[in-house]
A and B are shown apart, each in its own frame.
Chain A
Amino acid sequence: KAGVTQTPRYLIKTRGQQVTLSCSPISGHRSVSWYQQTPGQGLQFLFEYFSETQRNKGNFPGRFSGRQFSNSRSEMNVSTLELGDSALYLCASSLVAGLDGYTFGSGTRLTVV
């Protein structure tokens, strides 16, 4: 079966711009989580969506937001980009979060210049 698909794979943006990243979960998976991965902070939880509702949010500023559509696809948005937002953004899907394994996509590498 198809895995978790994230688009685009690479992105270069300028400080102050905004960006939208997309994630298509495994068919049938209703939970979608987002993580930020950096060399300094490791893997950090951004937020989780289930049936279009955000159920949990990590410790990130309000510039980071997300949403989930009725087909379970999810997007995350970062506004007013800062250099420190450069990271690998990973999406993970699960049938029901916490009850089974999370499958990660290959991520979107965002570079802010």
Chain B
Amino acid sequence: GENVEQHPSTLSVQEGDSAVIKCTYSDSASNYFPWYKQELGKGPQLIIDIRSNVGEKKDQRIAVTLNKTAKHFSLHITETQPEDSAVYFCAATAFGNEKLTFGTGTRLTIIP
């Protein structure tokens, strides 16, 4: 089955700097890669996703890149703000699989 590894497990950055979180996946059949943000006491919230037919997707301060050959994808957050502090999860699945396989999460702390 699919296995997703996520690094780093914790990340602290100064407000205004950029943050990068990386994930690798094992199943070459995976073709949908969402990123979730989870705040304390809440469920994971989808912040951006990418499908295997594109290499990069951007939404304001957030971007995701995908390298299918190397089987890795990354989340980039620019101009970080205190409200970006949360736990971020990457995930992978294939269309028709119905199951998301999650990474182990990255606790991001933005230092004011």
Partners in one complex: yes
Which of these, A50, A56, A99, contacts B99 with CB under 8 Å?
A56
Task: Report yes or no: B41 in contact with A103, Cβ–Cβ below 8 A.
Answer: no
Which of these, B46, B96, B103, contacts A101 with CB under 8 Å?
B46
Known contacts A42-B104, A43-B89, A101-B49; A106 and B98 CB within 8 A of each other: no
Main secondary structure of the interface of B (DSSP, over half): loop
Q: B101 — which chain A residues lie within 8 A by C-beta? A: 45
Task: Report yes or no: B43 in contact with A102, Cβ–Cβ below 8 A.
Answer: no
Chain B: number of interface residues, binned into ranges? 20 to 34
Known contacts A42-B104, A43-B89; A104 and B36 CB within 8 A of each other: yes
CB distance from B24 to the nearest CB of A (A): 16
In the complex, residue of chain B having the shortest beta-carbon distance to the beta carbon of A104:
B43
Task: Report yes or no: B98 in contact with A31, Cβ–Cβ below 8 A.
Answer: yes
Q: A74 — which chain B residues lie within 8 A by C-beta? A: none
B14 at interface, CB cutoff 8 A: no
Chain A: number of interface residues, binned into ranges? 20 to 34
Residues 14-41 of B, flagged 1 when their CB comes within 8 A of A and 0 if not, give 0000000000000000001010100001
Complex: how many Å from CA A73 to CA B111?
A: 41
A75 at interface, CB cutoff 8 A: no
CB distance from B49 to the nearest CB of A (A): 6
Complex: how many Å from CA A35 to CA B44?
A: 11
Q: Which residues of chain B in 77-111 are interfacial with respect to chain A, using CB atoms and an 8 Å cutoff? A: 89, 91, 93-105
CB distance from A5 to the nearest CB of B (A): 11
Task: Report yes or no: B46 in contact with A98, Cβ–Cβ below 8 A.
Answer: no
> Which 3 A-B pairs have CB atoms at the shortest separation, nearest pair first?
A104-B43, A43-B102, A97-B98
